[in-house]
Amino acid sequence: MKRSDSKSKECTLNAEDGYVRMFLRGRPVTMHIPDDLRGSYSLDQKVALPDRKLKLQWVYGYRGRDCRCNLYLLPTGEIVYFNASVVVLYNVEEQQQRHYLGHNDDVKCLAIHPDMVTIATGQVAGTSKDGKALPPHVRVWDSVSLNTLHIIGMGVFDRAVTCVAFSKSNGGANLCAVDDANDHILSVWDWQKEKQLAEVKCSNDSVLGAAFHPMESNLIVTCGKSHINFWTMEGSTLTKRQGLFEKHEKPKYVLCVAFAENGDAITGDSSGNIYIWAKGGNRISHAVPGAHEGGIFSLCVLKDGTLVSGGGKDRKVVHWDHEYHKQGEVEVPEAFGPVRCLTEGKQEELFVGTTRNAILQGSFSRELTPIVQGHTDELWGLDVHPSMEQFVTCGQDKQVHLWDTTTHQPLWSKAIEDPARSAGFHPSGAVLAVGTMTGRWVVLDTETRDLVSVHTDGNEIISNVKYSPDGAYLAVASHDNFVYIYSVTDNGRKYSRVGKCSGHSSFVTHLDWSTDSQFIVTNSGDYEILYWEASSGKHITSMDAVRNLEWATSTCVLGFSVFGIWPDGADGTDLNAVCRSHDGALLASADDFGKVHLFSSPCSQPRAPSHQYGGHSSHVTNVAFLHDDSHLISTGGKDTSVLQWMLA
């Protein structure tokens, strides 16, 4: 009996007037039942789980903006790196990706064992849906089978694991890690026994790198803000010797450390100097002052013993011989930003990760070309092409990318003047509209990416730009509580404002068109559902006029056909987006806990069951099925990632 009591508080059916009422944060949300269901509808019916499932197929982007040492080449021919909570193994030649999905929040660091098969990755502290803390930890896993071998440091690390490394000389038996606690604790582990051997306060300041010496298994070098420390481990104690800069310029940050063939340590710093620290000592034996203009973010010793360094401000990748004389250089194109990480490829090839979340491939004899690209700031705008294997994304980084889902590369990228928030294709596919954070919205030619039209409505976020199914209207929804309606002529090239929908008392969040292009339904920040006549912008108050309408899309998170997607006790902001498949059988939703859910559609029973999928690490901001329902695209907010899922 108790269950039905609690349930009746949450969801009520008024059969006489034909509506269901649910509550979000104590506010009633009333949803009207179509006439053909009124006689048979009951709250107790069960929605089945969908028989389809999602499988992650592709991760767009790379986390270079705030992580380092996170790009390596494996003997399998795959490069390994991470984005959001996914570790990606990408075979560039075969255009295949595999994914390690063991983490439940942002991955921050990555290390490869000397066996070149075992991988360690460290993650940040997260929170689960029910508010439980997910502790930061290191996962050790097999890069061939993708099986997790060991989980290290649950309950030991604080905030995040920022550095991880395997020992090199004793068969790789040890692993060291640095966390993001105030004292930045350096700990050493026997990873196979999952046992901590030693720990020590590393530095009050941020630690940016940690590595075992290649020949001495008890020697660890750490570097970071105004320090380089040489640690010796004896038993369970770690003893520190600070690196002495003596007559050399002491940099603000020592950014990276690598080791020469003879065991010398090599550092790159924020002042652009390369310093060589003679093996076993803590003094500089050789200096290359001003090797780069601006900081040196990465150092990589090649198999032939020569050195490659990667510059921040100058975006240069420089090759140095054994005596540290410059041999050659190549520059990262400005659009891709400073170098973040370098790794050696086959023959004379290099892979370069950048702070603008791209990975490039090339060598000193040929230029660097991008093989991975992504957004660099929060991402909300997404729409799929009406008839082709393409989708558009736009974000607060002011970038609009048109992606090809088969090559996983942008067909084009365009910088616009304002941070972007929403996108929508015209039904012809000839143009697409982009809404920004400033009230401005622009129309771009899909083929040439030329600016076709620029308009401003209000000065707040444009949360939605959506064309009517017949292409004759464009609805522009704003955080100023209004929806602006434009008539569209000349195949999406001419716009004139015909109406303004006013009646919401909060910002407009979602919007759908009726299949006949006559009506609009909207949701708002205070959980209202309102209906409008498109041609005039008139608010429709008679529910009998709208309860039987068919909707061309289903992106409103509040409505009779979707309310089952709301979980128990949900806060009204827990769901950011929903999308119905074109065949009408599935609903995908995007939540605030990094999950993409797949439901059966329609979803008109409380708390419907769903398949759920991790991969994003922060809130998932948007979801969209490709025109043929073969794939689902999802976008991440703070993780800036785009994930492509196959429908299986």
Query: In what helix (H) or strand (E) does residue 256 lie, and over which residues does it extend?
Result: strand 254-259
CA atoms of 207 and 227, how far apart (whole Å):
9
Query: Could you please report the per-residue DSSP string of 483-533?
Result: EEEEEEETTTTEEEEEEEE---SS-EEEEEEBTTSSEEEEEETT--EEEEE
The single residue listed with the structure tokens 């997910």 is: 134
Burial 439-467 (b: 16+ CB within 10 A, else e): bbbbbbebeeeeebbebebbebbbbbbbb
- pLDDT of amino acid 453: 97
Length reported for the chain: 648
Rounded alpha-carbon distances, angstroms, from residue 39 to 16, 17, 19, 545: 10, 11, 12, 18
Report residue 133's pLDDT band, with 50, 70 and 90 as the boundaries.
confident
Q: What number of H helices and E strands is found in the chain?
A: 3, 57
Tokens of 90: 């990408």
Identity of the amino acid at 398:
K
CA angle 569, 572, 573 (to 5 degrees): 120
Query: In what helix (H) or strand (E) does residue 342 lie, and over which residues does it extend?
Result: strand 339-344
Query: In what helix (H) or strand (E) does residue 36 lie, and over which residues does it extend?
Result: helix 35-38
The single residue listed with the structure tokens 């994304």 is: 393
- pLDDT of amino acid 129: 75
7, pLDDT greater than 50 = no
> Could you report the per-residue pLDDT of 255-314, keeping only the tens digit for each?
999 999 999 999 999 999 999 999 989 999 999 999 999 999 999 999 999 999 999 999
CA atoms of 59 and 83, how far apart (whole Å):
8
Query: Could you please report the per-residue DSSP string of 128-159?
Result: -TTS-EE---EEEEETTT--EEEEE-TTTS-S
> Could you report the per-residue pLDDT of 9-45, keeping only the tens digit for each?
579 999 999 999 999 988 999 999 999 999 999 999 9
Closest to 538 (Cα-Cα) out of 501, 564, 509: 501
Burial class (CB in 10 A: 0-12, 13-18, 19+), 235: exposed
Radius of gyration of the chain (CA): 27
Give CA torsion, residues 455, 457, 461, 467, to 10 deg: -70
CA atoms of 508 and 463, how far apart (whole Å):
7
The single residue listed with the structure tokens 């909707």 is: 551
CA atoms of 294 and 94, how far apart (whole Å):
37
Strands 631-636 and 133-134: unpaired
67 φ, ψ to 5°? -130, 155
CA atoms of 401 and 645, how far apart (whole Å):
18
Mean pLDDT (the chain, rounded) = 96
Report residue 126's pLDDT band, with 50, 70 and 90 as the boundaries.
confident
Burial class (CB in 10 A: 0-12, 13-18, 19+), 109: buried
647, pLDDT greater than 80 = yes
CB under 8 Å to 322, separation ≥6 — which residues?
305, 306
- pLDDT of amino acid 9: 55
Tokens of 193: 């026994």
* pTM of this prediction exceeds 0.85: yes
> Could you report the per-residue pLDDT of 470-515, keeping only the tens digit for each?
999 999 999 999 999 999 999 999 999 999 999 999 999 999 999 9
Chain centre to alpha carbon of residue 241: 39
389, pLDDT greater than 90 = yes
3-state secondary structure of 412: strand
Contact assessment for residue 424 and residue 467, using Cβ atoms and an 8 Å cutoff: yes
> Could you report the per-residue pLDDT of 140-164, keeping only the tens digit for each?
999 999 999 999 999 999 999 999 9
CA atoms of 178 and 78, how far apart (whole Å):
27
CA angle 12, 18, 23 (to 5 degrees): 30
569, pLDDT greater than 90 = no
> Could you report the per-residue pLDDT of 604-621, keeping only the tens digit for each?
999 999 999 999 998 999
CA atoms of 198 and 508, how far apart (whole Å):
55
- pLDDT of amino acid 399: 98
Rounded alpha-carbon distances, angstroms, from residue 403 to 392, 419, 609: 6, 19, 32
The single residue listed with the structure tokens 């502790």 is: 135
> Could you report the per-residue pLDDT of 209-263, keeping only the tens digit for each?
999 999 999 999 999 999 999 999 999 999 999 999 999 999 999 999 999 999 9
CA atoms of 66 and 343, how far apart (whole Å):
18
Closest to 309 (Cα-Cα) out of 262, 273, 349: 273
3-state helix, strand, coil in the chain (%, to 5): 5, 50, 45
Within 13 Å of residue 402, how many CA atoms lie on the same side as its CB?
A: 22
